[in-house]
Amino acid sequence: MFAVHGDPATNPHNPAGPDPDLAASEEKLRSMMQHWETYGFGYWAVTLPQQEEVLGFGGVEYRVWREREVLNLYYRFTPSAWGQGYATEVARTAVALARAHLPQWPVVARTRAGNNASMRTAERAGLVRRPDLDTEHIVYALGWPPIDAAHTP
């Protein structure tokens, strides 16, 4: 966990920056594991077949965002895994499973302006850019009411 989340190279768009120490990463991992215990799904640790080295983390977690229940799509990988399609593969798999098993909740990916790789990954996973939902983040969503429906009484 710390090798990925504590690496400054994986956090250039994260306003909180990298995890400052091992304890912060351990707490993040405990939170992810608690989510699994509570909901029966959550973020995955990603490895290559027959290998133990964790390349990154990704998947969906339940959140309440904008007073609505959503699935937060997440992906963060070590720089050695960048450019090999792992984030896209994880994101596509997570979205497909979410739509098949949890269709009542929209899938949302929030990224920072300038994080072009994250934006491409969200698009490749089937999410659609939603400027109407932007705040401090650039928002991509799937299953959120269309822009016209959101303004219809």
Query: Which domain CATH number covers 75?
Result: 3.40.630.30
In whole angstroms, give the CA distance from residue 120 to residue 114: 11
Average pLDDT, the chain: 94
Give the contacts of 10 (CB within 8 A, at least 6 positions apart): 4, 18, 76, 77, 78, 79
Helices marked H in the chain: 2-5, 22-39, 86-101, 116-124, 147-150
Q: What is the average per-residue pLDDT within 126-144?
A: 95
pLDDT tens per residue, range 22-68: 999 999 999 999 999 999 999 999 999 999 999 999 999 999 999 99
Domain count, the chain: 1
| Domain that residue 50 falls in | 2-150
H or E stretch covering 60: strand 56-65
β-strand partners of 128? 141
Residue 138, pLDDT > 60, answer yes
Q: What is the pLDDT of residues 3-22, one digit of tens each?
A: 999 999 999 998 889 999 99
